[in-house]
Amino acid sequence: MLLLQLIISSLILLASSSSAVTVSINGDGEFTTISQAIAAAPSYSDTKYTILVRPGIYEEHLQIPRDKTNILLIGDGRHNTILLGHHNGGTLSATATLAIHGAGFMAQGMAIVNSAGPNAGPGIALLNTADMSVLYNCSVEGYQDTLWASTGRQFYGECHIYGSVDFVMGNAAAVFQNCMLYARLISGFSAFTAQSRDDPLQRTGFVFHYCRFTVSPEDGGKKLAVGDKAILGRPWRAYSRVVIMRSYIDDIVSPMGWGEMKGTPTDQVTYIEFENEGPGSSTRGRVRWIGVVEVHDKEQVEEFTVSRFIEGDDWIPPTGVPYIGEL
């Protein structure tokens, strides 16, 4: 059913695109690397430029410049089309396997991986600064700082995101819907988010709607040691904001829920939980910060829906990607 949905969605997207090229490592497409296809794309396009990426492992350090707008990457599925990088160290942004800066970007059916490893420090798989960007049915895999959702309005649908420490980070206005968040336990600790809103007037934050917070499959069969726990997030900046709605929170999450980041105050954060379920969803043991709250009235979280928080009704429907606009 998922494959059928992917194919149907891809056809809708292709039909609405002005042009399409194919990338194949086997040489039976117009290009053998994704970077070549990006370089050939028109600048400041107001229509989708479709790049079909055939199965294979593409070892590239891929940049989508600001002038390459409305790029659409369609892979053959997140287990088949893999963009692989090995970067760590240096400036944080330089580690990214894929860095997206052109507005209107979309990727579907592919994996974006940074293989730097669990002890390599920060290693970004995806850096996204693109407004009105969409990732659908993709896998984003790394360890520390896997996904840097930096700026702009972003939507992630049916994605699988793997990491260890602060692995969804940044200050975009980002909604994650029907996504799997997989904590990789390194030294017994994991932090799902490190949101970095630094001004109370910014309309930014991370919203998780119908998602699952759980342990990564490779750690799932292990017997957890005493003290092996994850937290839902910690503040990278003072006004950090994360909203988790109608999601599943596994017992890998500590009862305290949220944690501190050295040097960042905790008295201005906004961490909201609404109608979640699962063994880690109880809020009785949560940290007692003024901004950590469980709400029961849906009117208190309606501003964080796709339709309102990122104005998704204005720009997601033309992509053909399914989403839930309201609660």
Catalytic residue, candidates 166, 199, 228, 251 = 166
Rg (CA), the chain: 19
User: What is the C-alpha separation between 126 and 129, in angstroms, rounded?
Assistant: 10
Amino acid sitting at position 262: K
170: left (phi over 0), alpha (psi -120 to 50) or beta: left
Q: Which residue type occupies 29?
A: G
- Write out the two tokens for 10: 């891809």
Quick one: 296 exposed, middle or buried, by C-beta within 10 A (0-12, 13-18, 19+)?
exposed
Which H/E stretch holds residue 20?
Answer: strand 19-23
* Separation CA 146–CA 160 (nearest Å): 12
Is 313 one of the catalytic residues? no
Out of 28, 67, 131, 145, the active site residue is 145
For residue 156 the two structure tokens come to 């992630």
Q: Residue 166 catalytic?
A: yes
To which H or E segment does residue 244 belong?
A: strand 241-245
Task: State phi, psi for 183 to the nearest 5 degrees.
Answer: -85, 125
End-to-end Cα, the chain, rounded Å: 24
* Beta carbons within 8 Å of 39's beta carbon, 6+ residues apart: none
Q: What are phi and psi of 182, to 5 degrees?
A: -110, 115
The residues annotated with a catalytic role in the active site are 145, 166
